[in-house]
Amino acid sequence: MYLNTVRNIAIIAHVDHGKTTLVDGLLRQGNVFRANQDLGERILDSNDLERERGITIVSKNTSVFYRDTFINIVDTPGHADFGGEVERVMSMVDGVLLLVDAVDGPMPQTRFVTAKALAMGHKVILVVNKIDRPDARPDWVVDQTFDLLVELGANDAQLDFPIVYTCAKAGTATLDLSQPGRDLQPLFETILAHIPAPQGDPTAPFQMLVSNLTYDDYRGRLAVGKIFAGTVHPNDNIAIISRDGQLRPGKVVSVFVFEGLKKVPRAQAQAGEIVILSGLEDVAIGETVTSRDTPQPIPPIQVEEPTLRMSFGVNTSPLAGREGQHVTSRKLRERLFRELETNVSLRVEETESPDVFLVSGRGELHLAILIETMRREGFEFQVSQPEVIFHQDADGQQLEPYEQVQIEVAETYRGIVIEQMGRRRGELQNMWQESGNAHFIYLVPTRGLLGLRNELLTATRGTAVINSLFAGYYPYAGDISRASRGSLLATEMGTATHFGLSNAEERGILFIEPGTEVYPGMIVGKHQRDSDLEVNVCKTKHLTNIRSSTSEIAVRLTPPAILSLDQALEYIGPDELVEVTPKSVRMRKRILDSNLRRRLEKAPIGAKS
C-alpha cells in the first residue's frame, strides 16, 4: 500500500454534537456493512457506560475504503476529563474533522481538543452538523469557529479550512447550503482533497509509537499505533524503547490493520499505516517499537497532569463483603495498577496504609467512570471526597488548578448563578443574553466546582447547562465556603421501616426507602439544618390491642431522593466516604462511632488526627 492511498483522521467535537453518529454514517456508506445489516446506533460506543451516558469515553479506531483510499478514522472523546485519550491519539493522525453543532457552535471542550490538534500542526476540516435543526445558524457557527482558531494560534494554512455541512443522523453532507445533500460523498471527497497523506520512509529502519493498548482472549495484549518509518512483518525481531530510554528485546507475532470494525491480518505494514501488533506482552503506551539493529526512539506522548485525587480503600463498613466479589486490598491494588496500562491520565500512589491508595485523575467524571467500571466488575471498596492537587512555583508560591466554566440558564435564575459563583471565588469573564437564556463564562478554582453541579441544578430546577474546561494553574484563591449542610445518620444496625422513616422524614430529605439495610453512621438523608442529626430509621410501632396487622402500610412516605454515584461523590464532605459495591452505593461517616466523633469534634485542632 502506497502512502498516497492512506489518510489518517480523527473526529473531534464537544459532547453530544453527533461525532459518533457521523462515524456510523461513514462506516455504512463506506460499505463496511451489508445493506440489510442492522447494528443499531452509535456503533463505536461499545461499552455499556458509553451507551448509558451517551458519551465517548475511550478513543476507538476504525477504517473505510473510498475510491481506492484507505481512510483510518479515530473517534475521540468530547469530554475534557478524558483528554488523555485525545492527547495520545493525535500522534496517529495527520488531520482532523472538527465537528460543531449548527446551533451551539464551538463549546468549551471543543476548545481543548482543537488546541491539541492545532499544536501538532494538523489540518482542520470544519463539519457543521445538525443543519436540519429549525434554529440552525451555520453562518454564525462558521464565524465563531474561525474566531476560536485565531484565538488558539492557528497558522494561515489551518485557518484556510474547508467547510462541510452535514446531517449525521440522516447520513447526508453538502458543500452548499442551497443544495441539500444526498449522501456523505462530499465529506469523503473533502477528506481526500484536504487531509495530507502520511509522511514516512518505508525503506528506513522500523519505528512505531504505541498510542493505545487493547486485549484479545487468544492473542493477549495488542499494541496499537502509527508506523512512522520502515516496514513490519509477522515474526520480526524488534526492540522496545521505554519512556525513560531503556531498551529491551521483543518479537512481533502478528500484524493487523483495522478494516471497519474488524482486525484483519497482514503479511506486512509500512510507514503511514495504523497497525495492531501482537506478541509484545510487556509494552506500554508511549513506548517506541523499533528495529533491533538500529533502534531509534520517538518522543513519547506528553499528557497533562491530573488535577483531582481521592482515596480508594478496602470497604470497612459493617456490611462489607456481602455484595462484592473482589474485596481485598491485594485485588484492589492489582486492578488500580492494571488501569495505569491504558489510562494514561491516571496516577496511583500507595499510602502508609496497605488498604488505602491515592488515585489522581483529570476530573470528577474521569474518576467516577473508573469507580463505576470497577463496581461492575465485582469490586467492593470505599472512596473519599475528591480534592484538588496543589503545586508550587519556583518562588514557593502555592498554585491550584482553575477551570473555565460556561453556564447557560434561564434569565430568571441569573441571580442564583452570580451568587453561587461569587461564593466559590469565580471570576466573571463574559456574560450575554440570547433567546431568553443568560450565558456566563467564569474562571473559577477547581475547588469551587466540587458539588456545584448538584447545587446549581437544584436551585435552577434542573435547567442549568454547565460545561467546564481546565484552564491552568494559578495562585491560591483563598478559602472557599461551601454551602453548609447536615446529614441524617442512622443510629443502629437493621432494616429501615416505614414508621422509622416517617419520623426521620420530618427532619429532612431521605436518601433511602423502606427495606434498606442500614448501620450506625450511615447517611440516610439530608438534614434541614446545618448540623448532623442521628435518627432511628429502624424503629417499629409498638403493638397495641387495637392495632391491625396492616396499619404500617397506611404510612405514606415522600419518594426518597436516591443519589447516583456521581451525586454521592458530590454530596459527601471531608469527614465522609462513599461505599461502593456491585449492588449498592452508600454514604457514611469516616468514623462510624458517634461517641468517638463527638470527642474528636470537641478536641483541640492539634489533637485531631
The DSSP bridge partners found for residue 356 are 313
21 annotated as ligand-binding: yes
440 alpha-carbon distance from chain centroid:
23
135 annotated as ligand-binding: no
* Contact between 488 and 520 (Cβ < 8 Å): no
Between strands 486-490 and 533-535, the pairing is parallel
129 annotated as ligand-binding: yes
Between CA 17 and CA 193, with CA 110 as vertex, the angle to 5 degrees is 80
Between CA 358 and CA 126, with CA 80 as vertex, the angle to 5 degrees is 160
45 annotated as ligand-binding: no
17 annotated as ligand-binding: yes
Q: Is 552 helix (H, G, I), strand (E, B) or coil?
A: helix
16 annotated as ligand-binding: yes
* Contact between 399 and 477 (Cβ < 8 Å): no
The DSSP bridge partners found for residue 62 are 73
217 annotated as ligand-binding: no
60 annotated as ligand-binding: no
Q: What's the grid cell of residue 347?
A: 496516577
Which own/partner pairs from 459-463 qualify as long-range (CB within 8 Å, at least 24 positions apart)? 459/413, 459/416, 459/420, 460/409, 460/410, 460/413, 460/416, 460/417, 463/409, 463/410, 463/413
Report the alpha-carbon distance of residue 38 to residue 25 in Å, rounded.
13
Report the alpha-carbon distance of residue 230 to residue 212 in Å, rounded.
20
20 annotated as ligand-binding: yes
The DSSP bridge partners found for residue 289 are 208, 240
47 annotated as ligand-binding: no
Between CA 356 and CA 366, with CA 362 as vertex, the angle to 5 degrees is 75
Annotated binding site: 16-21, 129-132
Annotated binding site for GTP: 16-21, 129-132
